[in-house]
Amino acid sequence: MNATVLLLDADGVVQEGDPGFRASLEALCPEPAKVGEFVAGVFAAERPCATGERDFAEALGEVLNRWNSPGTLDEALSCWERVEPSGQVLDFVAELRGAGTVVALATNQQNYRARVLRELLAYDDHFDALLISCELGFVKPTAGFFGAACARLGIDRADALFVDDAMPNVLGAREAGLAAEHDHLSEGVGRLRALWAQHAVPR
């Protein structure tokens, strides 16, 4: 099976998250002895937002209010803005697109983070499409996500190579009929190049 389209996960493949992300969330908790419970509550509130069922700012605000957090909503939301795109990966994406290959982002995100990708990071300029779970209505690793993503691009599943840093997502993509490989930014862009060379239709 040879691929003509490359689908890349965002966090861990195209961009690196803030290593202080969890600490920033914990700082919003007014009860140091219950930071684990607080952070779990934030992630639980975020979960339905990843499929577009809820607005993330609203859900996060409810958590902050319930805990009487000393942080403002804007301060809390800023935790999801702190990412660092890989210039080398974006250069490789530009190289592929310049040669006529379709490259799309395929990522689980709530609507606030989707705006970060589009407005703060301008990923619409770097990719042919942003396939974001809250806009598709499905999350990885479900078959629904991969089916909706391929439908959005107008391609057969067998046309795509999907790359993610989470093995459950890689396995889900394979089960859905896509070629899929595991990769992480820490392995260097050379591995991503090699994976594409391994799966791509010869030119």
| Number of other residues whose CB lies within 10 A of the CB of residue 66 | 11
| Number of other residues whose CB lies within 10 A of the CB of residue 68 | 9
pLDDT at 66: 97
Query: pLDDT per residue over 92-151, tens digit each?
Result: 999 999 999 999 999 999 999 999 999 999 999 999 999 999 999 999 999 999 999 999
Whole-prediction pTM: 0.95
Q: What angle do CA 195, 199, 203 make, to 5 degrees?
A: 110
pLDDT at 44: 98
pLDDT at 2: 84
Over 90: is that where the pLDDT of 202 sits? no
Query: pLDDT per residue over 22-63, tens digit each?
Result: 999 999 999 999 999 999 999 999 999 999 999 999 999 999
Over 70: is that where the pLDDT of 173 sits? yes
Q: How confident is the model at residue 201 (pLDDT cuts 50, 70, 90)?
A: confident
SS3 (DSSP) at 19: coil
Are the CB atoms for 140 and 163 separated by under 8 Å?
Answer: no
Over 70: is that where the pLDDT of 203 sits? no
Over 70: is that where the pLDDT of 78 sits? yes
Q: How confident is the model at residue 1 (pLDDT cuts 50, 70, 90)?
A: low
> What phi, psi does 154 have (nearest 5°)?
75, 35
Q: What percent of the chain has pLDDT over 70?
A: 99
Q: How confident is the model at residue 163 (pLDDT cuts 50, 70, 90)?
A: very high
